[in-house]
A and B are shown apart, each in its own frame.
Chain A
Amino acid sequence: MTELLQYVLSGLTVGAVYALVALGFTIIYNASNVVNFAQGEFVMLGGMITFFAWQAGLPLPLAAALAILAAAAVGVALNKLAVERARGAPVVSLIIITIGASIFLRGGAQLVFDKQLHRFPAFSGDEPLVIGGATILPQGLWVVAGAATVFALLYLFFTRTLTGKAILATANNRVAARLVGINTDYMMTLSFALSAAIGALAGVLMTPITLTSYDLGVAYALKGFAAAMLGGMGVPAGALVGGLMLGLIEAITAGYVSSVYKDAVAFIVILAVLFAMPQGLFGRKSTDRV
């Protein structure tokens, strides 16, 4: 029982990060119908910039804030310089653009920073907390709490603020949104900034546990994309459930079956879910206009 609890705790920690990355995919997908494969690079930028700013003498909270702002700026640039200019291009072309952006950012990070693994101290020490015989790092609680806060704030943002509703309107129908006076280009830029900031936050929270390096973006992009699809692309609740499920499946497989096949089991579950529910767990049934 303790064993299971242990796997659940570590699964939730990793799953919370996947959920945040998946949420980043969801926000951009909703605003622009683009699946942004550079999403993982925001996670990398969050961790790397925080580390180097902290090493340069900045206090950790300030370094983290700087990293999140910088990542948001990169997100805006990605939208303005690349995605917006390719409006109307086929979906596969947009995929290649974001993959190109991801390779570009990875190459840039390798050049500006270095190829080493980095870590900055956990926010509240490294003494594990004991819960019912199982342990969790205080940083793990930070990750889970951080993810919960982001999801709660975004829920309020999308349901209670005019800007949030304008983004949802843009997602629903771009032309109609423009007709009622919404600046859809601005909403798209905002979505990229928001989603990059969320990715960077995930990177900041996770780095004390998993370390960071210039090339960890691909893995996070892969898992975040898978989690978003598992939940149903475009649905924030799907991102949350998909991310947590993916983390739990991985942790439990690693614990009871085999750690080398944990990714394999995760993908088998995703395939099984998609066969039964081709739109993911929470995805809306789409109908084509003929």
Chain B
Amino acid sequence: MRLSSSKHLTLLVLAAIILIAPFGFPSNFYYRIGSLIFVNGLAVTGLVILIGFAGQISLGHAGFAGIGAYACALAPQYLGLHPALAMLLGTALSAAIAWLIGRPILRLQGYYLAVATLGFGILVSMVLANEAPITGGPDGHEVPELGLRKLLETIGLDLSNAQFWYAFTGLFLLAGTWLALNLHDSPSGRALRALHDSEIAARTVGVDVTRYKLSAFVLSAVYASLSGSLLALMNKFITPDAAGFLHSIELVTMTVLGGAGSVPGAVAGAALLTMLPQVLTVLQDYEHMILGLIMMLVMIFMPSGLVPSLSRLLRGRT
């Protein structure tokens, strides 16, 4: 009972933050930062399932974000699909690719898995950057309007563009968080966490290790793909950087900074790493040094991540 109540509490707090935060927003810019946090948070939640629950690392998940993003850019142009359908197509494509490559890749462990996923991510970003006649190359590609805001306007819900994306991406994040929290406590989630601790022990008690690892990989790819699609539709423009190595690293860093095994940690990590560069631009030249320093300090003093370490601290106090 305690677990499920803390699950509802997490969702409630997250929903409350998303609802209340705009009252403190002095300008539209803050809605945009909020939306970016939600978009990143969605991909990071997927990685919490893969890294935190199942214990499998990926340094190539931006590749799936790239597939989701370019599906929204290219499918409307070449297949005449509506952007919303393009997003679904991208999701299905990412899931299919994750399923196909996941079978051989997930036999690898630890750093070998890291380099294999890294290779996958780099392949995707290279194809996107080099097939310029189709994808627009390194200069990027424009993405059509989703059109949902106009639809809402006709039923009397008049939101500014920034407000609409804040709400829309916020809903996605809530749904993603809800799913991940439910998974955590379900039999499948327990199986995943069991294989995280010891694959051999999990196999011994009858967990189909291969199947569960693959499911976690596919699910996290779907999260990343949706996050990429949302980013593309929100910015109405996309470049191959979305699929790049640095974006993959950024996502993993968010996951681990927030607390790899913690679903609320995903949002915290995404928020920290999305806001930090905005705050640090004031310090201009020192931006990278401070960013690197914060990453090192958090990991040295809170090795299990911000949210788990802080909540342990709070529980110790009370």
List chain A positions with a Cβ less than 8 A from chain B: 35, 82, 85-86, 88-97, 99-108, 110-111, 218, 222, 225-226, 229, 233, 260-261, 263-264, 267-268, 270-271, 274-275, 278-280, 288, 290
9 contacts between A and B (CB under 8 A): A92-B51, A93-B305, A96-B257, A218-B246, A222-B245, A229-B112, A264-B127, A267-B122, A275-B107
A interface secondary structure, majority? helix
A229 to B59 CA separation, bound complex (whole angstroms): 14
Does B304 contact A90, Cβ atoms closer than 8 Å? yes
Residues A275 and B288 in contact in the complex (CB < 8 Å), given A96-B256, A101-B296, A270-B119: no
A92–B111 contact, CB under 8 A? no
Judging by beta carbons under 8 Å apart, are A226 and B118 in contact?
yes
Interface centre among B110, B112, B130 (most CB of A within 10 A): B112
Give chain A nearest CB distance to B172 CB in angstroms: 25
Whether the pair B253, A274 counts as a contact (CB closer than 8 A) is no
Given contacts A222-B245, A263-B122, contact A104 B289 (CB under 8 A): yes
Chain B neighbourhood of A99, CB < 8 A: 249, 253, 295
Q: A225-B115, A263-B122 are in contact. Are A111 and B289 (CB under 8 A)?
A: yes
Q: By the criterion CB–CB under 8 Å, are A103 and B245 in contact? A: no
Please determine whether A268 and B111 come into contact, CB atoms closer than 8 angstroms. no
Q: Are A274 and B257 in contact (CB under 8 A)?
A: no
Instruction: Assess whether B112 is in contact with A280, with CB atoms less than 8 Å apart.
Output: yes
Q: Is the CB of B289 within 8 A of A271?
A: no
The answer on a CB contact under 8 Å between A233 and B111 is yes
Instruction: Please determine whether A107 and B287 come into contact, CB atoms closer than 8 angstroms.
Output: yes
Report chain A residues within 8 Å CB of B206. none
The reply on B252 being an interface residue by CB < 8 A is yes
Residue of B nearest to A91 (CB): B110
With contact pairs A93-B256, A274-B112, A274-B115 given, residues A100 and B126 touching in the complex (Cβ less than 8 Å):
no
- Expressed in whole angstroms, the Cα–Cα distance for A241 and B259 within the complex equals 37
Q: What are the residues of chain A within 8 A of B130 when measuring CB–CB? A: 260-261
B175 within 8 A of A: no
Whether A290 contacts B303 by the Cβ 8 Å rule is no
For residue B198, give the distance in angstroms from its CB to the closest CB of chain A. 7
Q: Whose C-beta in chain B lies nearest to the C-beta of A289?
A: B200
Are B293 and A97 neighbours in the complex by a CB distance under 8 Å? Answer: no
- Whether A104 contacts B119 in the complex (CB less than 8 A), given A93-B256, A263-B126, comes out as no
Cβ A279 vs Cβ B112 within 8 A? yes
**Are A274 and B296 interface neighbours, CB within 8 A?**
no
How long is the Cα–Cα vector from A123 to B238 in the complex, in angstroms?
45
Kindly state the separation between the CA atoms of A267 and B51 in the bound complex, as whole angstroms: 23
Known: A107-B288, A264-B126, A271-B116. A88 touches B303 (CB 8 A): yes
Are A96 and B112 in contact, with the CB atoms below 8 A? Answer: no
Could you tell me if B296 and A100 are in contact, using CB atoms closer than 8 angstroms?
yes
CA distance A107 to B299 in the complex (A): 19
Q: Which residues of chain A come closer than 8 Å to B107, judged between CB atoms?
A: 275, 278
**Known contacts A103-B291, A229-B111, A290-B201: A271-B299 contact under CB 8 Å:** no
Given contacts A97-B299, A104-B293, A290-B200, contact A229 B260 (CB under 8 A): no
The residue of chain A having its C-beta at the shortest distance from the C-beta of B254 within the complex is: A96
Instruction: Tell me if A229 and B300 are in contact (CB < 8 A).
Output: no
Instruction: Flag whether B108 is at the interface (Cβ < 8 A).
Output: yes
- Known pairs A107-B286, A107-B287, A108-B289; A96 contacts B126 (CB<8 A): no
A274 and B295: CB pair below 8 A?
A: no
Nearest residue, chain A, Cβ from B287 = A107
B249 touches A271 (CB 8 A): no
In the complex where A93-B299, A229-B111 touch, is A261 in contact with B126 (Cβ < 8 A)?
yes
Chain B residue at minimal CB-CB distance from A97: B299
Pairwise interchain contact B198-A290, C-beta atoms closer than 8 A: yes
Distance between Cα atoms of A94 and B298 in the complex (Å): 11
Across-interface contacts of A101 in B (CB, < 8 A): 292, 296
Docked pose: A106 CA to B123 CA in angstroms = 25
Q: Which of B200, B249, B303 is within 8 Å of A288, CB to CB?
A: B200
CB-defined contacts of A102 to chain B, threshold 8 Å:
292
- Besides A86-B303, A89-B300, A92-B256, 12 other A-B contacts (C-beta < 8 A): A86-B299, A86-B300, A92-B57, A96-B256, A104-B289, A225-B115, A226-B118, A226-B119, A260-B130, A264-B122, A278-B108, A279-B112
